[in-house]
Structure 1
């Protein structure tokens, strides 16, 4: 897939994910986890994650990108509003802070991209897909976990009897 096509696909996917986050929806987040997993897989399959001419530097940049993706996703997850309705269903909706965190995520990714290019690394669309898959996946997972914590889902029933 060409870089332009991949870039457009990534922009569409991110726009759709943000659109869905701005709507009130169940906090379970399974659809978003599948989307994130597909992005990670596509990023890995696309290849080009490491520059063979600058292997050590590209591995360091990859590690920094992965940590940044996870940290930014965790930050965005904390900005999502989660509540439980009268039926006991957990709901989520992004806030203005979530949008601000998304802008920071895009700026951080662009900064890492340009830092790699300035250092002489060959950059690929696969790394962008991997970054987005990781950041969207961790955000979705943490939002779903917060929703389960509010509803008590996933907890083992108490076995202690007085």
Structure 2
């Protein structure tokens, strides 16, 4: 597949993930982590992550992209509402801030793509897959972790005597 085709498929996957984030869902389901892992693995397998003409510059841009993906995933995770229902199950749903964070994530990715082009680096579909896989995976992991923390806090006996 060409970079354009992969970019369109990734865009569809991101649209689906964003859509699901605005629906109430249990935090314990980790299917999106498998999807994120598959995207990262696919990006590595596709290769082309480093420009052979400018390997140091390509590595630097890749590092910025990876750090940016993680940071944006952390930010989006903090914008998701996570709560415990009466039966002890945890749920999550995106907020308006989650949408703002997604728009910022897309803008950052496009900005990094343009910066790479401006620097003369060859575009990499594998890089796109890794960025999206990292950012989605980090967000999903942190939301699930927040859900587990709510359950643990609810199960912990009250240590304060009255």
Which of the five TM-score ranges fits, normalised by the shorter chain? over 0.9
The count of corresponding residues between Structure 1 and Structure 2 is 156
Over the aligned positions, Cα root-mean-square deviation in angstroms equals 1.5
What is the DSSP-based 3-state SS (H/G/I as helix, E as strand, rest coil) of the residue aligned with 1:152? helix
For the structure 1 residues 58 and 78, does the alpha-carbon distance in structure 2 shift closer, same or farther, using more than 3 Å as the test? Answer: same
What is the DSSP-based 3-state SS (H/G/I as helix, E as strand, rest coil) of the residue aligned with 1:52? coil
Q: 136-145 vs 27-36, which deviates more? A: 27-36
Alignment of 1:1-162 (within 5 A): 1-152=1-152
Distance 1:29 1:35 in 2: 12
Shift of 1:113: 0.6
Structure 2: gaps of 5 or more residues? 158-162
Shift of 1:52: 1.1
Moved over 6 A (4+): none
What is the DSSP-based 3-state SS (H/G/I as helix, E as strand, rest coil) of the residue aligned with 1:148? helix
Structure 1: gaps of 5 or more residues? none
Shift of 1:2: 1.3
TM-score, length basis structure 1 = 0.93
TM-score, length basis structure 2 = 0.93
CA-to-aligned-CA distance 1:58-115 (integer Å, 9 cap, x gap): 0000000000000000000000000000010000000010000000000000000100
